[in-house]
Amino acid sequence: MSMPKGHKMSQGYATVADGLDYRTISEIMTSRGHKMNHATARNILLSAMRSLAADLACYRDENPDAKQIDQISKSPQFQAGIAEVISDLYSLGALKA
């Protein structure tokens, strides 16, 4: 079941203020030759967030269950933190667009 538009999670809205919405991401990806709709963009992003959350938990010697990993990955604070780290890496030249 999809999240209703404007759904507020317990930690806040599940979007990053300076980020792109899923529809915009899907339009950009489609224009670059990767046919995608907004639901697919959301699923891919959340899959990547789950992977990062699991890896970070492992690095910290924690062992959260799948439900906790899913909750962390959907957290606006976690997503904003990951976005900030990626932005810092770009500004340092460690990543290229």
Instruction: Tell me if the pTM is above 0.85.
Output: no
Structural domain includes residue 6: no
Q: What percent of the chain has pLDDT over 90?
A: 62
Count up the domains in the chain and report the number.
Answer: 1
User: Containing domain of residue 40, as a range?
Assistant: 19-91
* pLDDT at residue 37 greater than cutoff 90: yes
Structural domain includes residue 80: yes
User: What pLDDT does residue 21 have?
Assistant: 87
Structural domain includes residue 71: yes
Question: Rounded distance, CA 71 to CA 67, Å?
Answer: 6
Structural domain includes residue 12: no
Average pLDDT of 27-42?
94
Question: Rounded distance, CA 77 to CA 84, Å?
Answer: 10
Structural domain includes residue 66: yes
